[in-house]
């Protein structure tokens, strides 16, 4: 009896069905990533995957943005990714950006990756003249950026020096 049932089942029906997927490209301020997403995924599934990949825990400041017909929109967490008005051409592109800005960045942005992503986004928006920054503040911000870069280079030099010992 079992042999008769097994003979009626084809080999392909015994294989586990693979979920249908589509490719998405996530663009951050300093990197690009590609993922295969299941058709049934909601915005939250994709967003959580991106945050885990980045090692980001302060997720509430960020979102996934897309552009359609010169209009910017944010991916809704409770809606299927492909149910949004996104291009169906693969890879579907989203920009991982700060959606909300804290009142006091110094106190509220704890994680280094969060600070880094905010810095890069604000820097780009100032340079693209999307947000106004007075000249005095621009000079101060530029000095901070140079100081951070030199501090990082100095730390790398010290590490290299001690590795040679």
126 and 140 in a common domain: no
Q: Which of 99, 26, 95 is nearest to 67 (CA)?
A: 95
Q: Do 38 and 93 lie in a common domain?
A: yes
Tokens standing for 102?
């804290």
Question: Does a structural domain hold residue 36?
Answer: yes
Does residue 5 sit within a domain? Answer: no
Of the candidates 68, 58, 114, which has an alpha carbon nearest to the alpha carbon of residue 94? 68
The structural domain count of the chain equals 2
Instruction: Give pLDDT, residue 145.
Output: 77
- In eight-state DSSP terms, residue 102 is -
Q: Do 84 and 37 fall within a single domain?
A: yes
Cβ atoms of residues 97 and 62 within 8 Å: yes
- Give residue 103's domain range: 19-131
Residues 124 and 151 in one domain: no
Helix (H) or strand (E) holding 103: none
20 contact partners, CB below 8 Å, separation of at least 6 = 38, 39
Res 155: pLDDT: 59
For residues 72 and 150, membership in a common domain is answered with no
For residue 74, give the CATH number of its domain.
Answer: 3.10.20.90
Residues 121 and 137 in one domain: no
| Strand ranges (E), the chain | 21-27, 32-38, 62-68, 71-74, 92-98
Is there a domain that residue 2 lies in?
Answer: no
- Per-residue pLDDT of the chain in tens (165 residues, 90 and over written 9): 555 545 555 555 555 677 788 999 999 998 999 999 999 999 999 999 999 999 999 999 999 999 988 889 999 999 999 899 888 888 999 999 999 888 888 788 888 888 889 888 888 888 888 889 888 888 888 887 777 777 766 656 656 655 666
| pTM for the predicted model, two decimal places | 0.74
> Quick one: pLDDT at residue 46?
96
Pull the structure tokens for residue 76: 């809704």
Whether residues 94 and 151 share a domain: the answer is no
């Amino acid at each position: 009896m079992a042999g008769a049932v097994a003979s009626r089942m084809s080999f392909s029906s015994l294989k586990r069905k693979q979920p249908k997927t589509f490719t998405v490209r996530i663009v951050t301020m300093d990197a690009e990533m590609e993922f295969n997403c299941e058709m049934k995924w909601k915005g939250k599934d994709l967003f959580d995957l991106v945050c885990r990949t980045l090692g980001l825990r302060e997720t509430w400041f960020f979102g996934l943005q897309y552009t359609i017909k010169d209009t910017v929109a944010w991916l809704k967490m409770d809606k299927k990714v492909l149910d949004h008005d996104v291009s169906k051409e693969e890879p579907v592109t989203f920009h991982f950006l700060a959606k909300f800005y804290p009142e006091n960045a110094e106190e509220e942005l704890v994680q280094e990756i969060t600070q880094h992503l905010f810095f890069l986004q604000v820097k780009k928006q100032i340079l693209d003249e999307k947000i106004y920054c007075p000249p005095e503040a621009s000079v101060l911000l530029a000095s901070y950026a140079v100081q951070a870069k030199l501090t990082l280079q100095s730390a790398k030099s010290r590490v290299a020096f001690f590795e040679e010992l």
